[in-house]
Amino acid sequence: MDRTSTICLFDVDGTVTDPRQPIEPSVRSYMINDLKKRTFIGLVSGSDVSKINEQLGGAEYAAQFDYVFAENGLVAFKDGKEFKRQTIVDYLGEEKLQVFINFALGYMSKIQLPVKRGNFVEFRTGMINISPVGRSCSKAERDQFEEYDKIHDVRKNFIESIKENLPDIGLTYSIGGQISFDCFPIGWDKRYCLRYVENEFNGNIHFFGDKTFVGGNDYEIFNDPRVLGHTVTNPKDTILQLNHLFNNKI
């Protein structure tokens, strides 16, 4: 496989790291020091660049990836330098934005959960992240909500209510990680980043993600005809599949 014509794009949470946890040094070393010799490498995440840098162990490590697509590519980096930025404010306008935020806060004020903490609405450059439990929750509370959500479909029901009550808002929604879901303009899912690589790597774009099911935030890019999709379960599985793909042992 020719490195110059191939790129592997990776989701972050659940793919190269455990959810919201730092990357294991061995995984980081494998990607930067071994895999990068065989293929271009890139990260594509719904998180902002500060969270990506934190999980990678610092901006100096994230810069070792050929591409980093924060917020699905709305904020795009090549070789550690930002080259493109798009904002949800420009797309929606302040009036629509406040209608959406007010509805989300009102909905969350009425639901009962095992716990609620702080930071329920996180405003990002290209999207809004909604967390019913609150992003300030502890690791134990995060795990607790994830299990509760599997039974009660808190996030799924929340999204359905938004669609029913705000059908013309112009947003779409995807569940990612353990505690939240992303809200972004239609077409601004992870496929957004492909515009920056589709010509150079035509037919040789591999994507690895753990949320490739319907409603997951990897679903759209995983099923895009420009992409060769790979479903993984955790960082260890990601490396096993990469070893198989490139016939390389770590």
CA dist 187 and 149 (Å) reads 26
| CA atoms 198, 200, 203, 206: torsion sign | negative
Rounded to an integer, what is the distance from CA 23 to the centroid of its chain? 15
CA dist 31 and 25 (Å) reads 10
CA dist 51 and 239 (Å) reads 22
| Residue-level pLDDT at 181 | 95
- Tell me which residue has tokens 């009036």: 95
90 is annotated as an active-site residue: no
CA dist 24 and 61 (Å) reads 12
| Residue-level pLDDT at 121 | 96
pTM score, whole prediction:
0.74
Residue 28's alpha-carbon distances to 12, 43, 70, 207, in angstroms, are 12, 12, 18, 17
11 is annotated as an active-site residue: yes
| Backbone conformation region of residue 209, classed left if phi is above 0, alpha if psi is from -120 to 50, else beta | beta
Q: Which two tokens stand for residue 18?
A: 């455990």
Residue 170's alpha-carbon distances to 46, 92, 100, 142, 162, in angstroms, are 18, 8, 10, 29, 11
- Say which of 13, 66, 182, 218 is annotated catalytic: 13
| Residue-level pLDDT at 173 | 93
Closest CA to 51 of 22, 72, 28, 26: 22
| Residue-level pLDDT at 4 | 72
pLDDT-flagged residues of the chain (< 50)? 249-250
Return the bridge partners of 229, or none. 207
Q: Domains in the chain and their CATH numbers?
A: 3-86+190-246 (3.40.50.1000), 88-185 (3.30.1240.20)
- Say which of 11, 189, 210, 218 is annotated catalytic: 11
Angle at 113 between CA 109 and CA 117, to 5 degrees: 70
